Amino acid sequence: MELRQLASFLAVVEEGQFARAAARLFLSPPAVTGHVRRLERELGVALLERSPLRLTEAGERFVPHARAALAAVNAAADSVADLSGDPEPVLRVGVMGHGSAELTPAILQAYRRARPETRVVIETLDFTEHVSALLSHRVDVAFVRPAPDDDRVEADVLTTEPRIVVVSQGSRLGRTALLADVLDLPYVNVPVCTPQAFKDYLYFTSARGDAWPRRSPDQARNPHEVLSSVAAGRGVGSALCSFARFYQWPGVRYVPILDAPWDSSVLVARRGDTGPEVRAFRSLAASIARDLGPVLLPEHEFDYLEPSR
C-alpha cells in the first residue's frame, strides 16, 4: 500500500469525481483511477461504487484510517521540519461548509497580514470531520458548528445565530415555522461516523426527546450533497441563518424556525495546544468576532426573530 494510493482515494472521496481529484493532485485521471484500483486489489474489497460514485461500506470504514495514516506521515515530516533548514511556519486551517460566515475570510485575511511569514493551508472538512481532522493533526484549527462535545478540543464561539430549515421550493412550510412544524420532516442522512454533537444539532435531537428523526433515502457528507437532495424533494436539512446567504441553490428555500434555540459556529483547536501560530490565530479570531461580528453579520435579515435560549 502506497501513500499516493491513499491520497488519490481520499481526493476522489472528497471531490466526488475522479477528474476533479486528478486536477487537485496534478495527476491525470487514469493515474488516479489506477491508484484506487490497485488499492482495492491490495485490500481485496471495493471501496467505491462507480455509477453513481459513492463509498461502499468498506470504503466508509476505510476513510478514517486512510486519513489517519496520511496525517501520521505529515506529522512525522513536521516533527523534523525544523532540522531541514526551512524555518517557514505553517498553520493548517479547516473549514466546514461556510465556516463562521463572513468572519471566516475576514479572519484569514487579517492573519495573513499580521503574520506574512506563516504559510496558511486551508482544508475543506465534511460533516464527519467535526473533530477528527484536529485530533489526527490534519488541521491545527477549524471553523465548525456546533461546539464539539469532546474534552480533547477547545472552542471559541464566533457567531450565535437563529436556526433555519432547508426545504424544497415546493414545500408546504410557510415563510416561517415552529419547531413542532419541522420535527417530523425527513432529514437527509449523514454517515454513521458523524459525531453525535453534529447529529444532535442537525436533527434538533433535544427537541424531539432524543428520538431519531424520519430519514430521507439520501446520505450527505457536505452542504452541497444536502442541497442536491433537498432540491430534488428527497429530504430536508437544517443550518444557521447565515447559510442562506452563502448557498443560493435552485429549487431550495430557507425557512426560519421562530422558537428554535439559537446555535453557534466556533473555532476549535486541540486542548492545550500552545503553538504560537495557533495562539495568534485564536486571539485574532476572537478579536475580529468581537469587533466586526455585528457589522459582518447584520441582524436585519431575520429582524423578526428573538433568541430562544
pLDDT per position as a tens digit, 273-304: 989 999 999 999 999 998 876 555 555 455 44
Residues 277/160, Cβ–Cβ less than 8 Å: no
C-alpha cell at 22: 486528478
Is pLDDT of 86 > 50? yes
- Rounded Cα–Cα distance for residues 42 and 37 (Å): 9
Instruction: Decide if pLDDT at 210 tops 70.
Output: yes
C-alpha distances (whole Å) from 64 to each of 88, 109, 133, 197 are 29, 31, 9, 18
For residues 181-208, average pLDDT = 92
- Model confidence at 308, pLDDT cuts 50, 70, 90, reads very low
- pLDDT value at residue 278: 95
pTM of the predicted structure, to 2 decimals: 0.71
Cell of 120: 496558511
Q: Would you place residue 2 in the very low, low, confident or very high pLDDT band (cuts 50, 70, 90)?
A: confident
For the segment 5-14, the average pLDDT, to the nearest whole number, is 87
pLDDT for the residue numbered 139: 95
Report how far residue 42's alpha carbon sits from residue 101's, in angstroms, rounded to the nearest whole number: 42
Cα–chain-centroid distance for residue 240?
Answer: 13
Q: Which helix (H) or strand (E) holds 167?
A: strand 163-168
In this prediction, residue 31 has a pLDDT band, given cuts at 50, 70 and 90, of confident
Confidence grade of residue 261 (pLDDT, cut at 50, 70, 90): very high
pLDDT band at 64 (very low <50, low <70, confident <90, very high): confident
pLDDT the model gives residue 109:
92
Going along the chain from its start, the domains and CATH numbers come out as 1-87 (1.10.10.10), 89-309 (3.40.190.290)
How far apart, in whole angstroms, are the C-alpha atoms of residue 152 and residue 258? 34
d(CA 129, CA 117): 28
**What three-state secondary structure class fits 171?**
coil
Residue 140: count of CB within 10 angstroms of its CB: 21
Q: Is 202 helix (H, G, I), strand (E, B) or coil?
A: helix
The answer to whether 183 touches 207, Cβ cutoff 8 Å, is yes
pLDDT of amino acid 300: 47
The pLDDT value given to residue 147: 93
Instruction: Tell me phi and psi for residue 271, to 5 degrees.
Output: -60, 130
Task: Judge whether residue 309 has pLDDT over 70.
Answer: no
Q: Closest by alpha carbon to 54, among 24, 12, 110?
A: 12
Kindly report, residue by residue over 134-188, the tens digit of the pLDDT.
Answer: 988 899 999 999 999 999 999 999 999 999 999 999 999 999 999 999 999 999 9
Identify which of 45-59, 69-83, 209-223, 266-280 has the greatest average pLDDT.
Answer: 266-280
What is the four-CA torsion angle of 5, 144, 260, 188, rounded to 10 degrees?
-10
